Structure 1
Amino acid sequence: MANSFFRNAFDRVVAARERQATRYVNGALMYLDDEHLTALGTSREELRRKGATRYVF
C-alpha cells in the first residue's frame, strides 16, 4: 500500500513537470520565425494548440 501511494505521487509529480517543460519549450519555440518552425516540422498554430507559456528571462 505504501509503495503504491508514493509511486503514484511520484508519477504525478513527474507528469506535471513534463507538461510544464513542454509548455516552456513551446513558448521558447514561439520566438522563432515561421521558416525555422517549418524546418523543425511544426507551426505556430500547432504550438498554440499544444500550449505555450512565454517566460521572460
Structure 2
Amino acid sequence: MVKIIKKPTLIMKNISINELEKLLMEAEIAHKQYENEIGKKDVDWPVWFAKYIIKKTYKI
C-alpha cells in the first residue's frame, strides 16, 4: 500500500507522456484497490491520484 502525502507540496518534474500515462494507469488500479479497502467511492479521487503520482514519480 502506498502511503499518501499529507501536507501540500509543490513539486514538478519533466516526465514523458508515456511515463505519465503509465503512472495514471497504475494509479487507477491502486485506487480501485483503495476503494475496495475503504468500502466506498472516494469522492476526493483527484487528490488521491495526484498524491499517488507524485509519490511514485519521486519515490517518496
- Shorter-chain TM-score: which interval? 0.3 to 0.5
Task: Report which structure shows greater RCO (CA 8 Å, sep ≥6).
Answer: 2
TM-score, reference length from structure 1: 0.39
Greater helix fraction, Structure 1 or Structure 2: 1
